[in-house]
């Protein structure tokens, strides 16, 4: 049941980063991700420096550390994707897996460690960004950074209706749960795994069809109110001096780190 | 069985209802039920309710009064868990107390029909949906087929097995929703806003259908004419409390009372 209980990513707070312009925060987050990926494998000092950068971000946002930590676990699946590299990269043998006979190379271990750190750092910065920026501000930020309108509108509608569809899914699960009973006549309850999978598949399918139908109704309602392909937000706020300062200083730090690590 | 005080007011009998005596067995017993949502907002406060077999009870009250929250407790969709602040109390259904062990047995006894038939019906065909409960219960194929046929006949939709729910009218979907729980042969029917969204003809048809059912009935509704035509007992909820619990006929004729709780005479 709780599988569909979607929560907002925004965490209410009043740290310094909350007040920064969403465009600047977006730019910094994107630049950070590019900068991290530009660091050569095994450059642990540079990774440490990027870690410091994130730590400063968390401190400036005054987000609870546990919150950032928990949400960054999103990076975990990357481990599964990266692990084969330990055994496939040629290099000096570090250890051998008993029974299977796979040999782990030193170069492979460094590569996997670097990939893990890079993805974790990138997720961390995204977590900080989404936790201290209102979703609507993020989408406005995208628009003002000249992200194509279609893309920005799509993200906006996804955010608007994600919770509606989530609630619909939750009601479906409730209805199913209400009829998942044990007979007083003593039959073995639960059905086969295949049947249960089919029921779930049907539920997902009907949710999809309903979302599709809903989108058509929404579109009709928008046309009825004069929609012409653009979602208009309020007037544009000029960047404050503090925002420019934040951007330029971050650029200097990130750029400096990349140049240092690649020299 | 929990020890309950007998009801202070005799249950009235409209001409069309069965008179329920005090000797009828208790099917639902709720004692000191409290429930607060995770955000701390109290949804049910000090709720005590005893319902005897064969009673038809309407739960009325403004939106947000706690009607649905109360109904969702009766088959354990919502449950007070130890340690949850603002939650507590005990529920018994047909002598079974609502615990983890009894949960699935209670769900066979209590059929819940949700307000929106599109939530209730999640399968591609009417047959799949009506058969869901018996299939989950693990009944033999032949018995399932027979039960589905009987349930569809009970709601006047015989032959609808291969129809697709999204091609049916809202009235038909409401009936099929009812069939999806009747097929499980429950003792108690819980209906959330049964007449909402129905046109007058479909509404009258539903009332006639519900009148013919032998089950104990508990329904939340804003439809005062439905209360008049179908129910013998009426409960009014406000701010998570049961504030009125009396014969439906008395409640409906007390205009001052209806006015006080934002309801209208039929």
* Residue of B77, B139, B166 lying closest to A174 (CB–CB): B77
The pLDDT, as a whole number, for residue A15 is 76
Q: What is the rounded average pLDDT of the residues B187-199?
A: 92
Comparing C-alpha atoms, which of B45, B47, B41, B36 is closest to residue B74? B47
The pLDDT, as a whole number, for residue A85 is 81
Asked if B108's CB is within 8 angstroms of A184's CB, the reply is yes
Is pLDDT of B249 > 90? yes
Q: Is B126 within 8 Å of A176 (Cβ atoms)? A: no
Q: Is the C-alpha dihedral spanning A34, A36, A38, A41 positive or negative?
A: negative
Non-local (6+) Cβ contacts of A176 within 8 A are A199, A203, B122, B132
Asked if A202's CB is within 8 angstroms of B124's CB, the reply is yes
How far is Cα A245 from Cα A242, in angstroms, rounded to an integer?
A: 5
Other C-beta atoms lying within 10 Å of the C-beta of residue B159: 10
* Residue of B139, B140, B184 lying closest to A179 (CB–CB): B184
Q: What is the rounded average pLDDT of the residues B81-104?
A: 85
Say what the ipTM of the complex is: 0.76
The pLDDT, as a whole number, for residue B25 is 92
Which two tokens mark A124?
A: 């961390």
Long-range contact set of residues B199-202: C-beta below 8 Å, sequence gap at least 24: B199/B171, B201/B171, B202/B169, B202/B170, B202/B171, B202/B174
- CB contacts of B128 in chain A (<8 Å) are 202
Beta-bridge partner residues of B58: B219, B234
Is pLDDT of B17 > 50? no
Asked if B184's CB is within 8 angstroms of A175's CB, the reply is no
How far is Cα A243 from Cα A28, in angstroms, rounded to an integer?
A: 11
Look-up: residue for tokens 């007998």? B6
Is pLDDT of B194 > 70? yes
* Residue of A191, A205, A206 lying closest to B136 (CB–CB): A191
Look-up: residue for tokens 């008049």? B228
Give the tens place of pLDDT for each residue, B197-208.
Answer: 889 999 999 999
Which two tokens mark B72?
A: 């969702």
- CB contacts of A177 in chain B (<8 Å) are 77, 107
Residue A124 dihedral angles phi and psi, to the nearest 5°: -55, -45
Interface check for B119 against chain A (CB to CB < 8 A): the answer is yes
Residue B212 pLDDT level (bands cut at 50, 70, 90): very high
Weakly modelled stretches of chain A, pLDDT under 50? 1-4
* Residue of A1, A181, A187 lying closest to B107 (CB–CB): A181
Give the tens place of pLDDT for each residue, B23-49.
Answer: 789 999 999 999 988 777 889 999 999
How far is Cα A47 from Cα A68, in angstroms, rounded to an integer?
A: 18
How far is Cα B13 from Cα B24, in angstroms, rounded to an integer?
A: 15
Mean of all residue pLDDT scores within chain B:
87
CA closest to A178 among chain B residues:
B107
Percent of chain B with pLDDT over 70: 91
B258 CA to chain A: closest CA distance, Å?
31
Which two tokens mark B43?
A: 């949804």
């Amino acid at each position: 049941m709780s599988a569909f209980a979607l929560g907002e990513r925004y965490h209410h707070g009043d740290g310094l980063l909350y007040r920064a312009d969403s465009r600047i925060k977006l730019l910094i987050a994107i630049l950070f991700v590019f900068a991290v990926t530009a660091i050569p494998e095994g450059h642990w000092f540079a990774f440490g420096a990027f870690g410091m950068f994130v730590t400063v971000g968390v401190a400036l946002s005054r987000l609870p550390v546990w919150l950032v930590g928990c949400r960054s676990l999103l990076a975990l699946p990357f481990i599964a994707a990266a692990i084969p590299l330990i055994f496939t990269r040629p290099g000096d043998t570090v250890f051998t897996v008993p029974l299977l006979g796979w040999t782990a190379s030193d170069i492979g271990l460094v590569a996997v460690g670097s990939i893990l750190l890079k993805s974790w750092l990138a997720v961390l910065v995204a977590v900080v960004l989404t936790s201290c920026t209102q979703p609507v501000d993020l989408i406005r930020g995208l628009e003002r950074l000249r992200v194509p309108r279609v893309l920005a509108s799509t993200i906006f509608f996804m955010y608007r209706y994600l919770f509606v569809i989530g609630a619909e899914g939750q009601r479906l699960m409730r209805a199913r749960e209400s009829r998942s009973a044990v007979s007083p006549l003593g039959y073995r309850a639960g059905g086969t795994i295949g049947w249960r999978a089919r029921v779930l598949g049907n539920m997902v399918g009907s949710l999809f069809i309903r979302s599709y139908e809903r989108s058509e109704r929404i579109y009709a309602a928008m046309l009825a109110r004069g929609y012409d392909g653009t979602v208009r937000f309020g007037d544009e706020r000029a960047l404050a001096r503090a925002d420019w300062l934040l951007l330029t200083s971050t650029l200097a730090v990130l750029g400096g780190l990349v140049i240092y690590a690649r020299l | 069985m929990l020890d309950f005080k007998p009801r202070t007011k005799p249950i009235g009998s409209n001409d069309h209802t069965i008179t329920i005596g005090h000797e009828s067995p208790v099917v639902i017993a709720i004692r000191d039920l409290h429930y607060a949502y995770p955000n701390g907002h109290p949804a049910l406060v000090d709720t005590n309710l005893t319902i005897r077999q064969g009673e038809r009870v309407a739960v009325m009250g403004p939106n947000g009064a706690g009607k649905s929250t109360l109904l969702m407790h009766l088959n354990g969709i919502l449950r007070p868990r130890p340690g949850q602040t603002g939650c507590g109390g005990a529920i018994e259904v047909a002598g079974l107390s609502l615990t983890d062990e009894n949960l699935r047995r209670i769900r066979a006894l209590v059929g819940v029909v949700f307000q929106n038939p599109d939530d209730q019906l999640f399968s591609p065909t009417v047959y799949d949906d009506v058969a869901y409960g018996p299939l989950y219960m693990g009944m033999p194929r032949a018995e399932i087929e027979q039960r589905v046929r009987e349930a569809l006949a009970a709601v006047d939709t015989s032959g609808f097995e291969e129809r697709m729910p999204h091609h049916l009218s809202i009235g038909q979907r409401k009936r099929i929703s009812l069939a999806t729980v009747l097929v499980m042969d429950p003792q108690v029917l819980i209906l959330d806003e049964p007449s909402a969204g129905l046109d007058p003809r479909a509404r009258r048809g539903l009332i006639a259908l519900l009148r013919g059912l032998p089950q104990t009935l508990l329904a939340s509704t804003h439809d005062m004419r439905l209360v008049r035509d179908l129910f013998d007992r009426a409960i009014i909820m406000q701010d998570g409390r049961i504030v009125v619990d009396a014969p439906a006929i008395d409640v409906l004729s007390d205009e001052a009372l209806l006015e006080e709780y934002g309801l209208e005479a039929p």
